[in-house]
Structure 1
Amino acid sequence: LLSWIEHYFEKEDILHLVITEEAGANSLELAPNITAELNDQNEPIGVEILNASSFLRDMVVESVQAKIAQVLAVTTV
């Protein structure tokens, strides 16, 4: 199980998740507004999420909607 340190920059609405304090060597854009930071062996050492509040809100809403659909499907069978 990974553990990380979270840094939120409210003014810029950026969430930075630090997996390890290693030096970054590369980065990889995984999706618009989401960048993985990699070490020199291309292992993830951090994740940066731009427009974090919108991203997290959308992820929570999506997750809740999926769970509601799942629960309703089970209870109506």
Structure 2
Amino acid sequence: MDKTKMAYSKDEDVLHIVVSEGKEADSIELSPNITAELNESGELIGIEILKASSFLRDTILESSQAKILKLKKSYNN
């Protein structure tokens, strides 16, 4: 597979990222609402994010705020 694929279900607010084609044999909860999907060899084939819209919003806001604060500190010094 040469490109990662993503699918978003607006009704369920679930983002599914396909890293590699293959049948899911196992999964591991990475954190609440985030699951890694694994094939029979234990290789990552996908990621599922529940409550995706709030996760992405919060992650982007947190990352942006941290970078802005860092920039302000370096600008003021």
Same fold (TM over 0.5): yes
Alignment of 1:4 with 2:9, yes or no, is no
Return the offset for 1:42: 1.1
Distance 1:60 1:76 in 2: 24
3-state SS, counterpart of residue 21 of structure 1: coil
Q: Read off the aligned partner of 2:30 and give its amino acid letter.
A: L
4+ runs deviating over 3 angstroms? none
Percent of residue pairs bearing the same amino acid type = 50
RMSD: 1.2
TM-score by length of 1: 0.93
Alignment of 1:14 with 2:14, yes or no, is yes
Structure 1 partner of 2:53: 53
Superimposed CA distance per residue, residues 12-69 of structure 1 (whole angstroms, 9 cap, x where no aligned partner) = 0000000011111100000000000001111110000000000000001001101101
Aligned length: 76
Distance 1:54 1:73 in 2: 28
Return the offset for 1:70: 1.0
Distance 1:73 1:15 in 2: 35
Distance 2:28 2:3 in 1: 20
User: Unpaired segments of 5 or more residues in structure 2?
Assistant: none
Q: Read off the aligned partner of 2:14 and give its amino acid letter.
A: I
Distance 2:36 2:58 in 1: 20
